Amino acid sequence: MPLELITIRCLKDNYAYLLRGEAGTALIDAPEAAPILAELDQRGWGLDRILLTHHHGDHIDGVSEIVKRTGATVIGAEADAHRLPPLDIRVTPGDSPQVLGETVHVIDVSGHTVGHVAFHFPQSSYAFTADSLMAMGCGRLFEGDPAMMWNSLGRLNALPGETLICSGHDYCAANGAFALSVDPGNDALKERLAGVEADRLPCSPATLAEERATNPFLRVKELRKFLNMENASDVEVFARLRSMKDSF
């Protein structure tokens, strides 16, 4: 049975995620403590593990209070340990730690930050991508460069299509508007946006297959002609799209 997934809205537009199984409960990212602790209290759950994707405050600021209340073990990237809360377990890309009875794959998704990791739970078909691959978008390049992020997206895009992409923010409206501006003939994108606007369908989490069909940063080959970049490399097209999104 897949682990139960609970999405928690935090701060203005952040997501944190709880996973629940027979072996306990895990949290992916901790933007703030109050809504996460409230969810745990409401369900009568403890917390065993906290997995951190990257060092930005809107993903880690709740860790200290949550650990104090729950005693959870904190897992994060070795490369980012100097700017993360104290880690009990340090991991590197390629590692496969056990979390709630599942083998988790640690994936390097540097670009938004250097040292950013994603956590893939293949048995449950979840990937926690935070500010790398996002709903109809990708994270800004604060520390990395376009080639770094493009390679990171490629690693995520290699996962099975049914993988549920659990990103770190609700940027659905802004990402969707940009996607439509560069991919105006995409019927799958129009259908997805209609569901979001009608508040019928959340845009995150979504399957990787849905992202492949609607996310411009995974559709560089399809968008080359629209951008008049038929002879450009994938990285060059991606870089143009990212630059356009930054000023959109």
Which positions make up the binding site for Zn(2+)?
Answer: 54, 56, 58-59, 112, 131, 169
Helix, strand or coil, per DSSP, at residue 42: helix
Instruction: State whether the Cα torsion 202-205-209-212 is positive or negative.
Output: positive
Q: Give the three-state DSSP class for 92.
A: coil
Annotated binding-site members: 54, 56, 58-59, 112, 131, 169
Inter-residue contact 97 to 89 (CB < 8 Å): yes
CA distances, 77 to each of 81, 110, 135 (Å): 6, 11, 23
d(C-alpha 108, C-alpha 89), whole Å:
17
In the chain, beta strands by DSSP E: 4-10, 14-21, 24-28, 49-51, 73-77, 89-91, 98-99, 102-103, 105-108, 117-121, 126-130, 133-134, 137-138, 164-167, 206-207
